[in-house]
Structure formats: C-alpha cells, structure tokens
Structure 1
Amino acid sequence: MNTANTNGTAKVRSRGLEVFYGEKQALFGVDLDIRSGEVTALIGPSGCGKSTFLRCINRMNDLVDGAKVNGSLTLDGDDIYHREVDVVQLRAKVGMVFQKPNPFPKSIYDNVAYGPRIHGMAADQAELDEIVMTSLEKAGLLGEVKDRLQESGTGLSGGQQQRLCIARAIAVEPEVILMDEPCSALDPIATAKVEELIDELRDNYTIVIVTHSMQQAARVSQRTAFFHLGKLIEMGDTEQIFTNPQQPLTQGYITGRFG
C-alpha cells in the first residue's frame, strides 16, 4: 500500500524504513521521497508514526532507549545511519523545530549565536553579528527584537519564541528543516506568521512538517504524506491528496470519518 512518487529530486529518501521502540513496532516498511526545495506535510491520526519518521531524519530516535531503525534512509544519497556519520554534523545539516517553543534561557542574541559558535562558523565578532542578524531577518523576527537583543529569549511571546527557534535552526545553515507541529501551541495570528515564514523559507530549505491541521497542510505544503498505524498509506501532491485521494483510508481521514 506504500506509494512513493520518485519524480523530482529527492533530498531525503527512505526505503523499507522500520522503527521499533523495544518490542513495539512504530513504522512498517516506509518508502518515501522528500523532494528538495519543497514543503512536505506528514498527516495522520495521533500515534500513526509521522513524528517517528520525522525524528529518523536527524536521528533524534537515537536518544530513545530501545529504539532500533531498519531499512534505508539517505540524505543526498548518503546513508544517515552509517556508523561513520557524525550525528552532530548531521543535526547541523538537518535542523529541528519542536512543537513547544524551546528557546534557551539566554539572550535573544545568544540563542541564535549558540550553534554558529559551537561549529566555529564565525571568524570574528562582526561575522557572528552578521549571522545572527541575517538569521533573525530570515525568521521574520529582526524588526520586532533588534532593540532588545540582550533580553532573554524566554521573555518573548509564544509566536516570537517559535520564530526565534526557527532563527536558531537556520543560523547553522541547514539544508533541511524538520518541524514537529510547530504551531500547535500558538494562537491564530502567530500561526499565520509562522506559516507565512515557512512559505518564504522553502526557497532556501527543504522543509518537512508534521501537522494535525489538514487546513495547515493544505496551506503550506506542496506534497503530503498520509500515515496510519505506522504505515505510509498515500503520498502525492497536496492538492491531489485533499481533492482526489486514491486510497479509501486517506479519503476517510480527509473527510473526518476517523482521526
């Protein structure tokens, strides 16, 4: 039943991907291509495996006791799970924005500067300043915080905190940005700003977003993958998935018969 469209350039490709948490199997043989320079939405009911798939891409599942990953998962053709892969470098290349905004208890400036400092990306203070300002600008936040960069990032509103976390993610120049329900803790106005931002960011990044909101998936993504009970049921252009799904399960979820 897995349907993977392989047209276009696949930035991330999974074949036969399985994930186990101890004895419990969370993903079953997922074949999925994430195209470069697009927003791919992962939808499906709670516990269907979409966040598990997302966390495989930057090996966040490594942090879960008893987690085991089988099958193939590649980034630009390179095996993400190869034993010689430097996970720190992988996570710089594949940034993550979580459901609940999680700024560090540091200044706005230091939140964004944290990654570039660790990775030695700036030769001097002027270069670091440039990275911080550019990242805040790309995240649509610079205008709101430029006069308060030394204030704590935790003092911002929820929507601003989430955009700060996006600025922090893009400061290390990732190629892929993973977003795990990035708007679920935000009000409608903050959500609209983040969605607008996602649309702008796809010019420079490949974005994968897990969302429970089908309206959000329809608004921000070019491609949508529907998961159910750990299996990829259907993958296709977002408009096709929402207007003409090929699988009865997808149809049932889209029309609200379950989920």
Structure 2
Amino acid sequence: MPIASEAFLQQSGRAMTGTSKVTAKDVNVYYGDKHALKAVSLDIRANEVTALIGPSGCGKSTFLRCLNRMNDLIEGARVTGLITLDGDDIYDYSLDVVQLRARIGMVFQKPNPFPKSIFDNVAYGPRIHGLAQSSADLEEIVVSSLQRAGLYEEVKDRLSEPGTGLSGGQQQRLCIARAIAVSPEVILMDEPCSALDPIATAKVEELIDELRENYTIVIVTHSMQQAARVSQRTAFFHLGELVEFGDTEQIFTNPQQKLTQGYITGRFG
C-alpha cells in the first residue's frame, strides 16, 4: 500500500488559525411552530475545535445541523438568519448542497459504517465526487484517510472485510476516515464518543486534537470534561439560546454568566 503523499495531507485547512471559517448571524430555527434556536450569532475559527455544550434539548445539535444544512431533511424545519463558509452564504439558492456537505463533513453520535468493506466505506465519497483519476489514486486516498484517522495500522491487512465487523471505537474512526476522504474543510461531530468506552473515547479525542491542524472542527458533547480537553472555544446553549461563547479555559474557570456557572458547577442540567 502507498504511503500518504504530502500533497494529500496538506490539501485541507486552507484558512489560517484565528481567522473565521464559519460565521452565524442571528440564526433562528423553527420546527413547525416550535422556536428551537433563537437568534444565535457566533464565529467558528479555522483550525480550532469549537465545543457546543448545554443540557438536553438546548439547541446545540440543532445548531450543528444548520452548518451543513441537515435540517433541510427534516419536514417542517425552517432556518432564518445568515450562515457563511469563507464568507459565502451556505443557504444561497444557487448553492450545490451535495458539494457543501463535501466541504462540511459530519460524524454522527452512533458509528454508521456502510454495509461494505472497510476499503469501500472510505472510497465511497471520493468515487461519487470523482476525486480519484485512477485506482491507484483511490487507493492512496483510502490509505491516507485511514492513516489520518489513526486506523490504518489496525486494519491494513483486512481492508476487504466488512466495516461493520470492527469494534465500536474502530467503526467511529472509520466514519471519521470516510468523512475526511473527500477533503472537507470543516468536520461536524455530534456526540461522537457517547456510544464508546473510555479507551475508545480517549483515542477519538486524541485524533480530534491531531485533526484540527488541518480541519476546523465543531463538536457537540454532553461531557464538559471532554469539551475542556479537546476544544479551544466553547459555546454554552440553554433553551435554544446561546448564553455564552468564548475561550474554553475562560468558560470553565471564569464564566461571565450565572447560567453558565450553574451548568458548569452541576447545579442544573
């Protein structure tokens, strides 16, 4: 198997750290008559991990799904406000949503490998997007993606075996490899470790820290400890509102809002 080329490893993460990659301004989400997300505005910086925290039903996953238009798939959902990726409105009518979701990938709460081989799970996206000019190119992308997901050494001798036969933690890393195989710029993660044991969780958290060198990552988590470990900035949501947003260390050690302090100290949530 070929080793990942430098060109492939460096082709993502175009924006510099500290610059805004995704910007949300006055974003509201309605599910029918329910006002689920209320006037949320925040900037997500390039090559950082932004954690979204808050009690169940607070709007954090709803906001995450806005970022690659997954709410479009929910009947009765309506999104207002402005969300931009590198300054471009992602809800523009002329935008190709399939291409948007290639640029902003998603990793879900429960690992969801396709009922295909490990190789074909990772090759699926590059095939449908025409990213490989030859079988050798495709093989390089698959190997590179598995290497970046920290999985290649564990599966290199069984790439033709079903992805569903891997352990839960390996399946989640396979899903991460599948997401990065199409060279996204942003990776969304919706509680990616909630179904994993502590050892698998530690591996995924270590992977997240490595990936942010090349990707912008937004993670929803119920674990405040996880948010503190993996993120540079943290947003606290409550009842559909963004209560506080700032550097993770500041949010956890010196929150400016009483509601944030109450959640961080365990008084509610």
Q: Identify the TM-score tier after normalising by the shorter chain.
A: over 0.9
Q: TM-score scaled to structure 2, two decimals?
A: 0.93
| Unpaired segments ≥5 residues, structure 2 | 1-16
1:122-168: CA deviation from partner (whole Å, max 9, x where unpaired) = 00000000000000000000000000000000000000000000000
What pairs up with 1:1-259 in 2 under 5 angstroms? Answer: 8-259=18-269
SS of the aligned residue for 2:61 comes to helix
| 1:13 Cα deviation after fit | 0.5
For residues 184 and 130 of structure 1, the distance between their equivalents in structure 2, rounded to whole angstroms, comes to 31
For residues 62 and 194 of structure 1, the distance between their equivalents in structure 2, rounded to whole angstroms, comes to 28
- Letter aligned with residue 240 of structure 1: Q
For residues 152 and 8 of structure 1, the distance between their equivalents in structure 2, rounded to whole angstroms, comes to 40
SS of the aligned residue for 1:69 comes to strand
1:33-53: CA deviation from partner (whole Å, max 9, x where unpaired) = 100000000000000000000
Q: TM-score scaled to structure 1, two decimals?
A: 0.97
Percent identity between the two aligned chains: 80
SS of the aligned residue for 2:161 comes to coil
For residues 41 and 137 of structure 2, the distance between their equivalents in structure 1, rounded to whole angstroms, comes to 41
| 1:31 Cα deviation after fit | 0.6
1:5-42: CA deviation from partner (whole Å, max 9, x where unpaired) = xx931111011100000000110000111000000000
For residues 257 and 153 of structure 2, the distance between their equivalents in structure 1, rounded to whole angstroms, comes to 46
SS of the aligned residue for 1:137 comes to helix
For residues 78 and 19 of structure 1, the distance between their equivalents in structure 2, rounded to whole angstroms, comes to 20
SS of the aligned residue for 1:135 comes to helix
- Letter aligned with residue 264 of structure 2: I
1:82-117: CA deviation from partner (whole Å, max 9, x where unpaired) = 001100000000000000000000000000000000
Question: What is the number of equivalent residue pairs in this alignment?
Answer: 253
1:38-90: CA deviation from partner (whole Å, max 9, x where unpaired) = 00000000000000000000000000000000011111000010001100000
| Unpaired segments ≥5 residues, structure 1 | 1-6
- Letter aligned with residue 26 of structure 1: A
- Letter aligned with residue 126 of structure 1: A
1:181-223: CA deviation from partner (whole Å, max 9, x where unpaired) = 0000000000000000000000000000000000000000000
For residues 122 and 142 of structure 1, the distance between their equivalents in structure 2, rounded to whole angstroms, comes to 19
Runs of 4 or more above 4 Å deviation = none
- Letter aligned with residue 258 of structure 1: F
